[in-house]
Structure formats: C-alpha cells, structure tokens
Amino acid sequence: MHVKSPRRVFKLRANNDKPFVPEPNTGHIYLADLDKHGKDVRIITQCVDVLHQKAGSKLVVELHGNSRRFYCMECDREYPYSEIPLGEQNIPRCPIDNGIIRADIILFGENLKPRVLERVKTLLAESDLLIIAGTSLSVSPTKTLIRHFESNKVVVINQTPLDITDLSIDLFISDPVGETLSKLDIH
Ligand SMILES: [Zn+2]
C-alpha cells in the first residue's frame, strides 16, 4: 500500500488495522538474489512499500521515504506501527511532546531529504552499470539525479521510452521489469 495521506494512517491505526503488505515480485527477488551471490547492488527506489528490503536486498535508498516507519514531527522519536499512540480524534500523537506522528514518506509538495539526495549522487558516481527499471523518470528531481552516473553502461527496462538527454542508453527493453529480470542468469 502506498500511504499517500496521513489521514489514511490515522484511520488505519484508529481501526487497529495493519497496512496491507504485498509480496515482492520476481524483479525484487532477482535483485535480492544478486546480493546473495555477492554482487554489489545498490537500489535507488521511488517506491515507499519496502518490498526490496522484504525480498532481502541490503542496500536500498528510498527517495520518497518508507511507509512502514513512523516518527514524531517534533522530537523524531520512532514508533512501531502497532505502538503508535492515538490522541484526541484518533490523531497519532507523541506522548512526550504531543507532536504529530507521521509516516516517514515524502508527501506531495514536500522536498526530498538533502541527506538522501547526497547519498544517491554518491552511489551513482561510484557505480559502473545503471539499470533504470519501471520508471519514466518524469518526477523531478530523479530525472536530474542520473547526471551523477559517470560510467557509460545504461540499460532501461520500461514499458515506454524515456525522455532523457543526459545519458545515452545502450539497451532499451520494453517488457515488464519482473518478467525481464527473471529471465536473466544470476551469475
Ligand atoms: Zn515527540
């Protein structure tokens, strides 16, 4: 589930429901298997659903945050989902300072975290192969971040071609990501 609105979190928590956690698909599992075979895989994702971690990937940078992590906006204390305290009107509030507890995700109109952006730039600069999968890169600033990739091997797996001029693409595959990756040799 992509938790786009804090209100949905309030409501779920008030009803004592758990967010639905889908299962990783064959693409997530393939990438995690590469880790297990000793490949240096760095995943930069715009998803907030934690599926890469659930599949077993070790290095995942979440540009838009993580819908399973909750923190107080005043003091930054983290609360496990099942222990989020509810205040008046079932609004999740920190018992220490009454700050609102929210999911650690970037909401529409909010800027990405500078620390995360710097991490992504470093990872891109260090990598020797860039696979852009399942995204049209239409959301800023992701499109401009790819300029930090300094090597020259670029593969795109996406249903539609990308409108990018900063990189030359070596291989474009227009099939679904999971299906494509699951056909590749792991070694
Ligand atoms: Zn607090």
Given a cut of 50, is residue 102 above it in pLDDT?
yes
- For residue 1, name the pLDDT band (cuts at 50, 70, 90): very low
Q: Would you say residue 4 has pLDDT above 70?
A: no
Q: Reply yes or no on domain 6-182 having CATH 3.40.50.720.
A: no
Q: For 9-43, how does the pLDDT look when each residue is reduced to its tens digit (9 = 90+)?
A: 666 666 666 666 789 999 999 999 999 999 999 99
The residue behind tokens 């907030």 is: 48
pLDDT band, residue 62 (cuts 50/70/90) = very high
pLDDT in tens, 85-98: 998 888 999 999 99
How far apart CA 88 and CA 175 sit, in angstroms, is: 49
Selecting among 2, 52, 64, 187, the annotated active-site residue is 64
User: Ligand 1 centre from 109 Cα, in Å?
Assistant: 23
Neighbours of 139 (CB within 10 A): 12
- In sequence order, what DSSP letters do the residues of 69-122 get, joined into one string? EEEETTT--EE-GGGPPB-GGG-BB-TTT-PBEEEEEPPTTPPPPHHHHHHHHH
Each domain of the chain, given as residue ranges in start order, spans 6-182
- DSSP three-state, residue 68: strand
At 19 the pLDDT is: 66
If you search the block for the tokens 């990937």, which residue do you land on? 57
Ligand 1 center to 23 CA (angstroms)? 32
Mean pLDDT rounded to a whole number for the chain: 88
C-alpha 7 to ligand 1 mean position (Å): 19
H and E: helices and strands count for the chain = 6, 8
Q: Is 64 a catalytic residue?
A: yes
Q: How far is the centre of ligand 1, averaged over its atoms, from the C-alpha of 92 (Å)? A: 11
Share of the chain above pLDDT 90, in %: 63
